[in-house]
Structure 1
Amino acid sequence: MPKVRVKYFLTFKDITGKMEEEIVLDGEGTVDELLKLLIKKYGKKFERSILDEKEQLSPYLKILVNEKEAGPKAKLEENDVVYILFPPSGGKGK
C-alpha cells in the first residue's frame, strides 16, 4: 500500500483545488489505480480531463513519476512523486 505524492498543474490544479496531495494506494499500486482513485474522488470533470471520447487516456496527458514519463501500468513505490499535467502548447520555435 504505497503512499505517493501527487502534484497537479494547470487544469488539474483548478479541478482539485490543490497543488498537491498525498494518496495511499490499496491495490496493485499502479498509475492506473491512482487515476481511478482520483476519478472517484474528483468526479466527472477530472475524468473528462484525462480520458478521450473512447475512454482511453488522452494522448495529450502527461504522467510523470519522479520526473520520468510513465504509462498506466507503471508501478508506484512508497514516496514516489507523481505529476499530472498537459504539456504547454503554442508558439513556434525559431
Structure 2
Amino acid sequence: MIEVKFLTMLREIVGMGTIEIERKETIPLLIEYLCKKYGKKFSEAIVDEKGSLKEHVRIMLNGKEVKNLDARINEGDTVLIFVPIAGG
C-alpha cells in the first residue's frame, strides 16, 4: 500500500485528506488511476486537455518534490499532491 495525501482544492474534490491504495509503479500511473477514481473535476484540476500534468500542480514523494515524473513509487511510500494557493 501507498499513502496519497491531498491538500487545498484537491482535498475538497476527493472529500478527504488521505487515502491508501495499492501501489502504482510510477507517478503517471498513479495520476491516471486517481483521475479515473475521482472523475472529471479532479482531472480538470491536475491535467491539461492533452492529459499532461498541469505545470502548477506539485507532487512530493516521501517529502521531496518530484521533478522526474517517471519516479518509481515503492511499497510504503507517501505521495502528496497539491495545487499551491496564490494570494494577493
| 1:43-75, Cα deviation, whole Å (9 max, x unpaired) | 111110111244321000000001111132110
Percent of residue pairs identical:
38
C-alpha distance in 1 between matches for 2:27 and 2:51 = 16
Deviation above 3 Å: which 4+ runs of structure 1?
Answer: none
The Cα RMSD (Å) is 1.3
Which of 4, 7, 20 aligns to 1:6? It is: 4
The 8 Å contact of residues 32 and 72 in structure 1, kept in 2 or not, is answered as yes
So what's the TM-score if we normalise by structure 1? 0.84
Structure with the higher fraction of residues in helix conformation: 2
1:42 corresponds in structure 2 to 38
Query: Residue 84 of structure 2 aligns to a residue in which SS?
Result: coil
So what's the TM-score if we normalise by structure 2? 0.89
Give unpaired runs (5+ residues) of structure 2.
none
| 1:16-35, Cα deviation, whole Å (9 max, x unpaired) | 10110101035xx1011111
Q: Which has the larger radius of gyration?
A: 1
Question: How many residue pairs align between the two structures?
Answer: 87
Query: Residue 43 of structure 1 aligns to a residue in which SS?
Result: helix
1:31 corresponds in structure 2 to 27
Query: Residue 21 of structure 1 aligns to a residue in which SS?
Result: strand
Query: Residue 60 of structure 2 aligns to a residue in which SS?
Result: strand
Give unpaired runs (5+ residues) of structure 1.
none
Superposition pairs of residues 76-91 of structure 1, within 5 angstroms: 76-91=73-88
